[in-house]
Structure 1
Amino acid sequence: MNFSSMNEGKALDSKLISAFPPPQRTLPVMLQRQALLFGDRTLLTFDDHTISYREACAIAARSAAALHQAGVRPGDRVALLCSNRVEFLQLYLGCAWAGVIAVPINVASRGAQLRHILDNCGARLIAIEADLVHVLEPLDRAGLALEKVWLIGNGRSVTLPDLQVAPFVLGNEAADPHQSQPGDTVAILYTSGTTGLSKGVCCPQAQYFWWGVHTASLLEMREGDVLYSCLPLFHTNALNSFYQALLTGSTLVVGQRFSVSGYTAALKRHGATISYLLGAMVPMLLSRPPSDDERAHKTRIALAPGVPVQFREIFQKRFGIGLIDGYGSTETNFTIGATLADQRPGFMGRVRPGFQAKVVDEHDNEVPDGTPGELIMRADEPFAFATGYFGMADKTVEAWRNLWFHSGDRVIREACGGFRFLDRMKDAIRRRGENISSFEVEQVITSHPAVANAAVFPVQSELAEDEVMVAVVLQEKARLTPEELLDYCQPRMPYFAVPRYVDFATALPTTENGKVQKYKLRDKGVGEATWDREAAGYVVKR
């Protein structure tokens, strides 16, 4: 099958672009216009909450009023550590309404990583789920700007002597919307570092407008669709699904978390027509025994980037759901993709209208079609991409050098114009949809008094993504078991970053300059002497 001329979705694109001219591509404007247009139609559904388009506008105004009362002003950052609860979007909408920058944080963040994020963003207020507040208690808060804590939901009582603690409640009054501009930052999302600390991606208002336009177009979304996402709202994928619903007059149903056994039942229960999956979820669903109920739904299509080629057709035939591949990142947008009719096995798609993409060598020279290289991109429209990394000017310049965003991903562009993903060039690991910084994991492991050195690297998993492996060199005469090492890791890093495989070594392979040659460790991989926590029955707690 050949790619089409990329005319797909042009009617929807044109409609949304004309409805929201450039100065109006901000969330407060979108909320107000769609509230007038769709009124009492349901915009959001959580387990025990439904919110109409009109109510979403009112909630944003009341949430903004609460922020004002707390002394938060336009441009301030508010950290948000919360799972898929209605309060997450209440606060996100309030921040956008007030001109405040929301900083959604992965709920698994712990220790040094969490401290770095809070220090880097300079948030004076954190809204945190009551069940998660314990992560603040051991945190070294010296030097942080943090002053206030808002508790979300019910949980145990907590005492943080240096912080003002109060429950999060919507304001009684309605604040006027801040006159935000399309280039103003609406959110800072922290993405895994490669050989360094996590970086805060500054996402402008208009970036999410374009995320909504392009994703809705490729999913061939229609007014009245029901979108079901159980992906975490603190990631760009699920946050983007909210904008898709808002722009198209659809309903977003937010599930608490992905469940292999409950996924198709949730699609049926909510009447979902569109859904969202990550690459590893598809083989997980296929691993279950077939049942008569798994096609008893209305879902016609799912956004599912990174699904291994061998699983795509099997999944589509078994579950009756078409899968859409493509390419996007927190820093960019849905730059490469194709509609369902134009999907080709092994291809992410072609460059979307409004974007440019090239494959280049290490000197940024474009390579011929069929030649592997790094994918670099830029946008034609103002603020369709992120504007940089918060407080990290050097990293921003490095990533956007020569005025192109450098993805760190190795791809091939074929003569037909389609792009194929090969692998990551970065020293990063992707496990179950989460990006893991090997640097941050190494920092924790090497802080153990028995460890002299460590190298963290990815190895292939059964689910076609990565598993985390570490090679550890102990201090002279020190003793340490794999279980003891992981016991040390668990309270100090996200659960998904805790290594599965542990090798103890007398030395690590290095260059003449002393740099660890991780490719040699990756090539060696899991050996007979490697300890596997899953085989050993070691449990990592969430």
Structure 2
Amino acid sequence: MTQARAGGGVGRPQYTPMDTFPAIVADRARRTPDAILLRDVAGRGLSCAAFQDSVLTWAAALRRQGVVAGSRVVVMLPDPIDSLACWLGLAWLRAIETPVNQQFHGRMLAYVINDAAASHLVIAARFLPAIAAVAAELRDIRAIIVPDHPLAAPALPFRLVAGAELFAGVMPATELMPPARHDLSTMIYTSGTTGPSKGVLIPWGLWADSYGTTGCHIGPDDITYDPFPMFHTGGKSMAQTTIQAGGSVVLRESFRTDAFWDDIRRFGCTFVAMVPAMAEWLLAREPRPDDAAGPLRRVAMIPIIPRIEEFKARFGVQVQTNFGMTETGAPIGSAPYMADVTGNYRSCGRIVPAYEARIVDANDYDVADGEPGELVLRSRLPWGLNCGYFGRPEATATAWRNGWFHTGDVFRRDAQGNLYFVDRLKDALRRRGENVSSFEVEALVNAHPAVLQSAAIGVPSEFGEDEIKICVIVRPGADLAPAALLDDLATRMPRFMVPRYVEVVAELPRTEATLRVQKVRLRERPFNERTWDRQAGRYLEPPAGA
């Protein structure tokens, strides 16, 4: 590891792809021990040295409780600083963190714990009732560790370690060595929209290689605002990227629209990542004269919203974008090629140097530029992508067939190498012999001035294939008649793309971590009395017995 210097001062750290995140945190603790590394919005702050001391204390405490190399440890810690320290503490033991969505309970919670064959749980006290409710179903647990519980908790059929016992007499484990890029860091469970959730095995190399997509415009003077939960790759990657670039991070347990700008101004945050729902919620708030006067300079928006020019002008920021998923990190981005996205807002960017990409047909043959096909990826260095799905050799072999990881996403590429997301393979629609992208339908619907957000799904058709339904959230204060919306879309869409059905909804079901729309839930009840049928010119009849 080397440190670049400019003008005699400490500059941007220069790390290589062989330097893993735990080693980088340790290096920063040696070089700039007193510099603030992490803060949370409650006011807690840790210097580089203090955070590294916390990490190694976690490592020693967990080792004393029987955690060893290869142990799979389920973590449910809502405090983001504690969650990061526990994750990196496990890393120095070469144990595998399995962070679990904190909304899970009952059957879903028991499934993940058992599927992971976890030996230990590290949870906040508030999750003890959820664990107690499924305790009889859990198979492999040796101990439950509750760091914020000062005393022994209610009786459970497992050894329970409260915070006082966990850290009593523990000294930082300074003799340990950091993990290598081939060591497993994390097992994160996918959303499971097409079947049971699968545990994605993530090596430290994946985190290292994703840095080049987002971190190229972050430096030692930057303060990143990170409002994503640490059970999701987004929360972890924003912290990792910023720390690797020499900056510091402000953490919030979850995003809150009403707190966003106050947090940004109070802590001087210069960079943030956001998903479209977050951007739309910020735009929907009453404009303020000082909207563009704050410290925020750069936003990673994934993907970019239709009202991007309005967003940039109102808030005075530059915008970058990328594409990523749990299994791949972020192999596609705009930031390495342009400081600010302008004009070509539909593109996710280009493949970044650490990866290779192809667009292929169903038999893994390359398609021509401009033609849609599945995005497949591989990394240029070993261990830059996922190591498969835990306990699922067939799913791993299918995803990694012919030596490339198959993303399940339809893309197209232009002659300049720009890549465009078309749809998820499982969300792609086929209507009257034509392939239809739900993503493109939504983009055109969202361009209507009365529409805040939308989701397009396929619903059963009497002619086979799909009919298209859109679920729409109307902008506050706007009035939108379904028939008028469809008439407008008919002027902007090919006939085969115009939806047959419209339902105005108050909200769309979303995942907690990424705020992505859960279309599987929309498909569970495709028709109801609020569904407008364009063909019939009326709302559908209420279900029998309603």
**Range class of TM-score, shorter chain:** 0.7 to 0.9
Give how far 1:131 is off: 1.5
Cα distance, 1:138–1:459 mapped onto 2, change above 3 Å: farther
Match in the other structure for 1:111? 106
Unaligned ranges ≥5, structure 1: 1-10, 431-437, 439-456, 465-493, 507-520, 532-542
Match in the other structure for 2:321? 325
Matches within 5 A, 1:121-200: 121-139=116-134, 141-142=136-137, 144-153=139-148, 158-168=153-163, 169-170=166-167, 172-175=170-173, 176-178=175-177, 180-200=179-199
Match in the other structure for 1:540? none
Q: Which amino acid aligns with 2:307?
A: F
Unaligned ranges ≥5, structure 2: 1-5, 429-437, 440-456, 458-467, 476-514
Q: Structure 2 length normalisation: TM-score? A: 0.74
Cα distance, 1:414–1:141 mapped onto 2, change above 3 Å: farther
How far, CA to CA, are the matches of 1:40 and 1:182 in structure 2? 28
How far, CA to CA, are the matches of 1:277 and 1:458 in structure 2? 27
Give how far 1:67 is off: 0.6
Give how far 1:529 is off: 4.9
Mean alpha-carbon deviation: is it higher for 80-89 or for 417-426? 80-89
How far, CA to CA, are the matches of 1:138 and 1:64 in structure 2? 29
Whether the 8 Å CA contact 2:21–2:204 is kept in 1: the answer is yes
Match in the other structure for 1:480? none
How far, CA to CA, are the matches of 2:397 and 2:524 in structure 1? 36
Match in the other structure for 1:230? 227
Whether the 8 Å CA contact 1:115–1:141 is kept in 2: the answer is no
Q: Which amino acid aligns with 2:171?
A: E
Cα-to-partner distance string for 1:176-205 (whole Å, 9 max, x where unaligned): 224532101011111122422111111111
How far, CA to CA, are the matches of 1:250 and 1:463 in structure 2? 39
Higher relative contact order (CA 8 A, sep 6+): 1
Match of 1:45 among 32, 36, 39: 39
How far, CA to CA, are the matches of 2:542 and 2:289 in structure 1? 41
Whether the 8 Å CA contact 1:377–1:406 is kept in 2: the answer is yes
**Is 2:409 aligned against 1:398?**
no
Cα distance, 1:207–1:254 mapped onto 2, change above 3 Å: same
Cα distance, 1:424–1:38 mapped onto 2, change above 3 Å: same
Whether the 8 Å CA contact 2:152–2:162 is kept in 1: the answer is no
Q: Which amino acid aligns with 2:272?
A: S
Match in the other structure for 1:86? 81
Whether the 8 Å CA contact 2:209–2:354 is kept in 1: the answer is no
Matches within 5 A, 1:381-530: 381-426=381-426, 460-462=471-473, 499=521, 503=525, 528-529=540-541
Highest Rg: 1 or 2?
2
Cα-to-partner distance string for 1:77-125 (whole Å, 9 max, x where unaligned): 1110122432211211211122111111111112222222111211121
**Is 2:278 aligned against 1:268?**
no
Q: RMSD of the TM alignment (CA)? A: 3.4
Does the residue aligned with 2:422 lie in a helix, a strand or coil? strand
How far, CA to CA, are the matches of 1:270 and 1:157 in structure 2? 37
Does the residue aligned with 1:108 lie in a helix, a strand or coil? coil
Q: Structure 1 length normalisation: TM-score? A: 0.75
How far, CA to CA, are the matches of 1:427 and 1:141 in structure 2? 37
Match in the other structure for 1:345? 345
Match in the other structure for 1:31? 25
Q: Which amino acid aligns with 2:90?
A: C
Identity of matched residues, %: 27
Q: Which amino acid aligns with 1:144?
A: R
Match in the other structure for 1:98? 93
Cα-to-partner distance string for 1:476-518 (whole Å, 9 max, x where unaligned): xxxxxxxxxxxxxxxxxx9996957874989xxxxxxxxxxxx
Give how far 1:398 is off: 0.9
Does the residue aligned with 1:302 lie in a helix, a strand or coil? strand
Match in the other structure for 1:447? none
Give how far 1:405 is off: 0.9
How far, CA to CA, are the matches of 1:527 and 1:41 in structure 2? 61
Match in the other structure for 1:367? 367
Whether the 8 Å CA contact 1:131–1:156 is kept in 2: the answer is no
Give how far 1:300 is off: 0.7
Q: Which amino acid aligns with 1:29?
A: A
Cα distance, 1:195–1:62 mapped onto 2, change above 3 Å: same
Q: Which amino acid aligns with 2:262?
A: A
